[in-house]
Chains A and B, each alone.
Chain A
Amino acid sequence: SQTIHQWPATLVQPVGSPLSLECTVEGTSNPNLYWYRQAAGRGLQLLFYSVGIGQISSEVPQNLSASRPQDRQFILSSKKLLLSDSGFYLCAYSGNTIYFGEGSWLTVV
């Protein structure tokens, strides 16, 4: 069966520090992968999606970037975090529809 994992689950980082959130999918090959951001428990916003290794599409301009170094690995990064980057980040993959990971809480202080 297919599973998706992302980590860390929670993260507290100072302003200006780098960020790396990782996501891996098991049980499937060549999945489409997604990074969403959710503010205040509602409103999921698509940040990035990838249809293959090295292929990244950005939906909104921002301080974040994404990379897909391997088929089932998706990474969300930032070189210098802003306070406004705080939020709940969700990785997802698509089979016949979209399935989400457990989420990562990021607090920038």
Chain B
Amino acid sequence: GQQLNQSPQSMFIQEGEDVSMNCTSSSIFNTWLWYKQDPGEGPVLLIALYKAGELTSNGRLTAQFGITRKDSFLNISASIPSDVGIYFCAGQLRSGAGSYQLTFGKGTKLSVIP
């Protein structure tokens, strides 16, 4: 089955530092997604990447869809305390039945020290 390797598992950084996390897969995906989850809440979509090689920014967030369609990274610049949470990558395929199949990484837990 498809698997996503997300790293690092956890990070402790100083406020103001930049953050980088990545995901790799043994399989190709059509879309790469990055979600953030705050404690006790559902994941919120941060960035969606639809084309191989695509580089997309959303405020202080930047993500890229690897050329091989098997990897992606997420960068957060100038981290702030509210960046704390768990970040998930997900690879998405659309099935023949029309539903989307997501494969999730195990998450990167980010802690920001003020």
Contacts and interface: CB of A to CB of B under 8 A. Distances in A.
Interface SS of chain A: helix, strand, loop or mixed?
strand
B59 interface: no
Given A42-B106, A43-B107, A105-B40, A94 B99 contact: yes
Interface SS of chain B: helix, strand, loop or mixed?
strand
A44 B31 contact: no
Interface in B4-39: 31, 33, 35, 37, 39
A74 interface: no
Nearest to A52: B98
Contact of A97 (B31, B42, B44): B31
Contacts of A97: 31, 33, 45, 48, 92, 100
Contacts of A90: 42-43
A46 B93 CA distance: 14
B102 interface: yes
Interface of B: 31, 33, 35, 37, 39-45, 48, 86, 88, 90, 92, 97-102, 104, 106-107, 109
Interface of A: 32, 34, 41-44, 46, 49, 51, 57, 88, 90, 92, 94, 96-103, 105
